[in-house]
Structure 1
């Protein structure tokens, strides 16, 4: 076997801010990786470009149509209830803290993530490679882990977290699961502590030579950017870089570590500034909206699911649904701050509307996108600011637009109408929280959809091995490194 591999995910890392951090000497680890390898400043996120969807795409190498994680907040038709993964503490309280934690820690991997796809951990576990991971939303692997008991916080958490999970061989998840005793503590995943916990665990795993593949999760940049805005990210990127450097130092220094280890570093999405709020309840006030507790389920017409700069609306009425869907689309098209409205037509096509303009599309043969997928299109390309050149569809403002929207629309768990916010707008969550004055993500727009990707010691020699890089390319890079694809 060749080099061991570390995949580091810096949540929400904006390319221009990483470049500034490197230029000002705040990110020496990232500088070393890029100098020895390749760098992509326009890695395309999944849509919606929220963390659960993007994390699932990184971990599986496929879009939401296959992995079935549709958003941060969504409605389960199978269980007739909302699913909330933690948009904010206020939103979690509306749905119940216990239910939100169980959905996030257990159900996301155990029930919501499709059993028909294999995660990167499962693929490497099946090849008998030594897998390891720090606190990451997607951890499903082949090794069983019991709830940790070795700290006061862990023992307290056992009142809620009682069941074992399947994860990588070495799993360290917010003090709730720990495959072995280390000196590292995460305060149950407290923001601002999570990166340090990952760095501590990663340092330990390097010193003890306990992995062939490590997923190093560095989520604090996202929280920092939500609060302070994307242009404040240099500080939080520098903190993430320090944790990567801890691994380098544990392996004998930068050069020695990179002689023995390959590195892939990526963001799951980017961030853009928020100035204004869209309130879905006001936008759909003419409809009976399902309450968080579901106590009006008998009379509810729709479930509304805000998720930062994206949102979904579910039609709950079975009889008369054909008449309800056009009404929902019309209502959505008239909402200030909504950039794009997306839905499936009665003929099965995808539709994307902006104001009065509309584009219809489906897999076909008319045009190719930058990744080589082919589409039939009809209507106004201006909806996406797109143009066709030499038989290729180009839409710089909405990267990989048709593929991402089609995947989102054909996700079995997705809503009937999908919304993408205009730049500077965000949907308030169920707790009324929005990040005005800070940063956010979730939309189809390039401003929060294009993140970073860098690698060395693995992968192609140059970034132009692909014209357009996507989160779907990460797991294939990992499995290819180990000769599995």
Structure 2
């Protein structure tokens, strides 16, 4: 029987991962791949390794303010010596696991199959969590959550037919590195070591065999620097912190082990924004100190720019949540009282008709009972005027409406209407529901960037009959024991306040095909192979 202490350790570990050793190859192996014929100066420039620094919940306005106040000198230095794109479109739902799946695979959720931070598996008949709040943690199967985070997410639930950038570069003979990133599937075997404080009474094994990039670091489970200890202690969230990430990257630099591409994740800004709101710069200041340590590892910042190419970006934005709990939260259960709603503390039963999976400012609502039309669920949800987008799928069409609105809009891929990204669509009904305008069959998006493709991705991301719900800015969606961020900030929705992130590029002359995270993978492949 597991002790209360073990449950507490499991809770802390899973929360740390989602707020959530390996022997590196020599630098000579990295250099052996020849490049296409081009002028020698350009060839040398192209051979520089790419360092992608992902700062969780980094946003344009607080970044600019932190630089203005002199509290982000490293970011300011890179910005002064590079190019800056303040509005890059994220994935949907705007939650880290889905966004990072999009970054690594170059696809939306309809292809990579990671629907959100929490979702219901129709195949396994259970809820899947990659992160949760403290109250949820007391009710759900924490060892299973850890298995999902550490193994199932990358090796089972992330679509095996959709290759990650680590896999594609490995097939081209290029090594890559991943440091504290949530998604890391590659082709090199690794063993994740489970911390000893989790006792033998759990069903977790001592280690988990996975495949990742050639150089892999993931909190206390696997690390590059054999001498790094202080930053992976339990009170430092087992290494899921900015300092650990920076030290691991600095180790590769100091030992001349940088591969053509290194993805380094700095997680702590996300927690600061959730707690203190979207204007806070405390987390950016902390991330900047970590970035300074990475730059310092080259000997000087000027040398860092001469020897590497730099990309710094956010994954999703966050929007302010009202500081009044009653006004801020929409309890979806109160709108669906006519149905038997599954409890998160027990397996789904034959009597359960509905499962609710909340992802902060969006949710999936599953109809387990085949006799319940999705349109009936939508009608009940429409009683709440704060619900922003309500979407369901009928055959191949996505049908959209909103709270307290009787109009509908339906669409599907391919057709006479073209959006700014070259995607074509067929639709009917009122496009104003998605804040779209039309001019001679050309679509212009408003406050929901790339909404047709992003929503289509979520609506086709996994098996089952479900409704997608988002809520207006200022609010969060909740169900049984859901975490909230009253007076702070949250994300998850399609709205621009959750969806636009900055991208800072230094030492790189080209850019992605479009300013969307879904197009960054192809750009990174070109940077590291051409």
TM-score (norm 2): 0.85
CA 1:270–1:296: 2 relative to 1, 3 Å: closer
Q: Does 1:298 align with 2:341?
A: no
- Alignment of 1:433 with 2:474, yes or no, is no
Does residue 335 of the first structure (1) align with residue 384 of the second (2)?
Answer: yes
Bigger Cα Rg: 2
1:369 and 2:381 matched: no
How do 1:276-425 residues align onto structure 2 when only pairs under 5 Å count? 276-318=328-370, 320=371, 323-346=372-395, 348-354=396-402, 355-413=405-463, 416-425=466-475
1:191 CA displacement: 8.9
Instruction: Kindly indicate whether residue 117 of structure 2 is the aligned counterpart of residue 69 of structure 1.
Output: no
Q: Deviations over 1:396-442 (max 9, x none)?
A: 20000111111111212475100111110111254232111000000
Q: What is the distance in 2 between the residues matched to 1:35 and 1:118?
A: 35
Q: How far does residue 450 in structure 1 lie from its aligned partner after superposition?
A: 0.5
Question: Which residue does 1:210 correspond to in 2?
Answer: 257
2:271 matched to which residue of 1?
223
Conserved 8 A contact 1:50-1:71? yes
Distance 1:180 1:248, change over 3 A: closer
SS of residue matched to 1:437: coil
Q: CA deviation at 1:60?
A: 1.2
Alpha-carbon displacement from aligned partner over 1:14-46 (angstroms, at most 9, x marks no partner)? 111111112222222222322332211111111
Q: 2:21 is matched with which residue?
A: none
Most deviating of 362-371 and 12-21 = 362-371
Deviates more, 1:411-420 or 1:157-166: 157-166
1: CA distance, partners of 2:140 / 2:127:
8
CA contact (8 A) 2:233 2:239 kept: no
Instruction: Summarize the Cα distance change of 1:341–1:8 in structure 2 as closer, same or farther, 3 Å threshold.
Output: same
- Encode CA deviations 1:379-405: one digit per residue, 9 max, x unaligned: 112112221134321122000011111
Distance 1:198 1:373 in 2: 37
**Mean alpha-carbon deviation: is it higher for 409-418 or for 195-204?**
409-418
Q: CA separation in 2, counterparts of 1:197 and 1:351? A: 45
- Please, which moves more after superposition, 241-250 or 439-448? 241-250
Counterpart CA distance in 1 for 2:397 and 2:498 is 26
Alpha-carbon offset, residue 64 of structure 1? 0.4
1:240 to 279, 287, 290: 287
Equivalent residue number for residue 483 of structure 1: 529
Mean Cα deviation higher: 170-179 or 416-425: 170-179
CA RMSD of aligned residues (A): 2.0
Q: What are the ranges of 5 or more consecutive residues in structure 2 without an aligned counterpart?
A: 1-30, 32-46, 323-327
1:429 & 1:131 partners in 2: Cα distance?
Answer: 40
TM-score, length basis structure 1: 0.92
| Count of aligned positions | 471
Q: Kindly state the Cα deviation for residue 197 of structure 1 after the two structures are TM-superposed.
A: 0.8
What is the deviation of 1:148?
A: 3.7
Partner of residue 516, structure 2: 470
Q: How does 1:425-464 map to 2 (within 5 A)?
A: 425-428=475-478, 430-458=480-508, 460=510
For 1:186, the equivalent position in structure 2 comes to 232
Counterpart in the other structure of 2:17: none
Give 2:208's aligned residue: 163
1:309-367 deviations in Å (ceiling 9; x for gaps): 0100111123x2xx421111111222242111011124x21111122221111113232
Q: Is the 8 A contact 1:174 1:187 kept in 2?
A: no
Q: Which residue of 1 aligns with 2:15?
A: none
Contact 2:401 2:407 in 1 (8 A): yes
Q: Does 1:259 align with 2:309?
A: no
Q: Quote the Cα distance in structure 1 between the aligned partners of 2:348 and 2:216.
A: 41
Post-superposition Cα deviations, 1:204-245, rounded to whole Å, max 9, x if no partner, equal: 11101222121110111111111111111x111111111112
1:130 Cα offset (Å): 2.7
Aligned residues of 2:219 and 2:239 also touching (Cα < 8 A)? no
**2:187: which partner in 1?**
142
Question: 1:22 and 1:180 mapped to 2: Cα distance?
Answer: 31
Match of 1:94 in 2: 139
Correspondence 1:174 to 2:219: yes
3-state SS of 1:454 partner: strand
> Partners of 1:54 and 1:446 in 2: how far apart?
15
